[in-house]
């Protein structure tokens, strides 16, 4: 079965939805969502979107804050490009109907401040900004006549000319598994856009939903795209610690509004690690918490906002208040237990400032991409901004091109004639748990050469075992996610082994200092079938 479209968008978060809407007035769009549209990472983003909206703020200050947080590895051109286009993208969201909070007098939008920012510049919708953006854009996508949404579909692999025996390696579409019918379909497309998010599910503890399995990064790598800086995995400092909470994120805006981190005995500790205390960048705060937990042998630290007025807390953090209340904590009266958790993949598929990858016709936008914006550490609330800015840039690039004649190329149907249904799903389950456990233990917040070597030996064994399994049995959602996650885990480990220093989110006890004698460099991995 084959579907034909102008633009195939794989991923239904802020990046995928906004690109689909921007391009659909001119081209036919097919949008692939692994589950329901609402289940992407965007929905769970609490804090907001960073942009220069206040007269006391400036483009140069936002740029400098981002460069500082990025620990010397940001691409200054990418930073300037993103920040410069911030306000126009916020205005676009407002025109779509996103209900951002207004100031008390209603004259402007309420702006909050988060770690690493020198000004209040975070526009938000209470503490559920991602949900407001997601639901607003989703409603518009569903009502657009040129957009067809395919929910409960997961990409198996990209289709390129080189895979079909052609000299050109242009991306021609993708094989997509319909999770309901369990059939694999061919989606032909003139342009393919990866908006699949990051790979934080590679770790045992994460703030991300179950869909964050690195699918786009793995597929792009197999198609011949370079990846970069995958050693920089951001761990959010504050995730609610509760056995039934399933990684509920506590927004950084809590600390931006005066929230204090405490040891179990009630003593503050961030002043021992950074002069900015609770408003230090996330990598510093996460390592500080990790250090104190290991030093004391405790399972968590405490986060306290109860000294602020109750009305203020209920107005600005209603989602967090309600969720914590469900687990027996009243944030207006007491501190809550928190731990760090894997949160954001700062590296990804190498792109230019139009979102274009090394493979012609293939774009990557949002968390799946490496644009150079984040450097060695993403600054809070720059992520949704990146999604919007590069969706706009990719849309403009696509619309400026003449449509390629790719539909006459023969693409074979998915062949299942030589495979069978697996009778041992326990293999997938076991390997899934083993992978996430050793990545957490050996490639987490603090690393060593020995830990990385142990992880590399284990991931090599898993790669061989999973590829053999993949070749013999019919594909399933769990198998595809495990295959992709294992590929990305290997790329993360390789990247971490190459960086012989501690910088930003990569901290190793064998090289605890930052190497400032040599020029800063990105860790770029080149696949055997590099398209360039």
Angle between helices 129-142 and 86-96 (to 10 degrees): 60
Residue-wise DSSP of 310-329: HHHHHHH-HHHHHHHHHTT-
Angstrom distance (rounded) from CA 508 to CA 445: 9
Q: Indicate which residue of 121, 190, 282, 378 is catalytic.
A: 282
Residue 375: how many other CB atoms lie within 10 Å: 28
Contact status, residue 457 vs residue 408, Cβ threshold 8 Å: no
Residue 9: how many other CB atoms lie within 10 Å: 32
Angstrom distance (rounded) from CA 101 to CA 421: 51
The three state secondary structure string of 87-107 is: HHHHHHHHHHCCCCCECCCCC
Q: Is 268 a catalytic residue?
A: no
* Alpha carbon of residue 454 to chain centroid: 26
* Alpha carbon of residue 246 to chain centroid: 18
Measured at the alpha carbon of residue 232, what is the angle toward residues 379 and 319, in degrees to the nearest 5? 45
Q: Which residues contact 364 (CB under 8 A, 6 or more apart)?
A: 193, 194, 195, 216, 220, 225, 348, 349, 351, 355, 357
Residues making up the chain, counted from first to last: 532
Angstrom distance (rounded) from CA 231 to CA 222: 19
Buried b / exposed e along 119-130 (16+ C-beta atoms within 10 A): bbbbbbbbbbbb
* Residues assigned a catalytic role: 282
């Amino acid at each position: 079965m084959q579907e034909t479209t102008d633009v195939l968008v794989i991923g239904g978060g802020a990046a995928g939805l906004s690109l689909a809407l921007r391009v659909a007035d001119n081209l036919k769009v097919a949008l692939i969502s692994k589950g329901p549209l609402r289940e992407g990472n965007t929905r769970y983003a609490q804090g907001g979107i960073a942009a220069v909206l206040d007269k006391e703020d400036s483009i140069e200050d936002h740029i400098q804050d981002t460069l500082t947080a990025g620990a010397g590895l940001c691409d200054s051109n990418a930073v300037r490009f993103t920040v410069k286009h911030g306000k126009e993208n916020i205005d676009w969201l407002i025109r779509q109907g996103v209900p951002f909070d207004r100031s008390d007098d209603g004259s402007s939008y309420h702006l909050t401040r988060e770690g690493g920012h020198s000004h209040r510049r975070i526009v938000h919708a209470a503490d559920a900004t991602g949900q407001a953006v997601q639901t607003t854009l989703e409603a518009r996508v569903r009502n657009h006549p040129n957009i067809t949404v395919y929910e409960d579909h997961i990409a198996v692999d990209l289709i390129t000319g080189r895979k079909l025996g052609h000299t050109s390696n242009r991306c021609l579409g993708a094989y997509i598994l319909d999770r309901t019918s369990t059939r694999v379909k061919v989606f032909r497309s003139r342009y393919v856009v990866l908006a699949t998010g990051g790979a934080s599910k590679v770790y045992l503890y994460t703030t991300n939903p179950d869909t964050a399995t690195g699918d786009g990064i793995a597929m792009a790598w197999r198609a011949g795209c370079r990846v970069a800086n995958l050693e920089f995995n951001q761990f959010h400092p504050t995730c609610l610690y509760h056995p039934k909470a399933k990684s509920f994120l506590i927004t950084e805006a809590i600390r931006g509004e005066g929230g204090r981190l405490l040891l179990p005995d009630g003593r503050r500790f961030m002043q021992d690690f950074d002069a900015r205390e609770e408003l230090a960048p996330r990598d510093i705060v996460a390592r500080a918490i990790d250090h104190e937990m290991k030093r004391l042998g405790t399972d968590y630290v405490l986060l306290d906002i109860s000294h602020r007025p109750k009305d203020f807390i209920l107005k600005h953090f209603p989602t967090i208040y309600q969720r914590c209340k469900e687990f027996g904590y009243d944030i207006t009266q007491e501190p809550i237990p928190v731990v760090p958790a894997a949160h954001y993949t700062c590296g990804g598929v190498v792109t230019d400032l139009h979102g274009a990858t090394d493979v012609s016709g293939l774009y990557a936008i949002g968390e799946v991409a490496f644009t150079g914006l984040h450097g060695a550490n993403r600054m809070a609330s720059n992520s949704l901004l990146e999604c919007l800015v590069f969706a706009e840039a990719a849309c403009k690039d696509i619309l400026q091109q003449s449509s390629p004649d790719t539909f006459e190329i023969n693409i074979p149907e998915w062949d299942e004639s030589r495979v069978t249904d697996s009778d041992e799903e326990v293999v997938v389950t076991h390997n899934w748990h083993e992978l996430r456990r050793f990545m957490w233990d050996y490639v987490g917040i603090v690393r060593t050469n020995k830990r990385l070597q142990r992880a590399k030996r284990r991931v090599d064994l898993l790669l061989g075992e999973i590829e053999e399994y993949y070749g013999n049995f019919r594909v399933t959602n769990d198998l595809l996610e495990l295959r992709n996650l294992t590929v990305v885990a290997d790329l993360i480990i390789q990247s971490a082994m190459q960086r012989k220093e501690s910088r930003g989110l990569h901290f190793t006890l064998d090289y605890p200092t930052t190497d400032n004698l040599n020029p800063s460099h990105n860790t770029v991995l080149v696949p055997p079938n590099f398209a360039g």
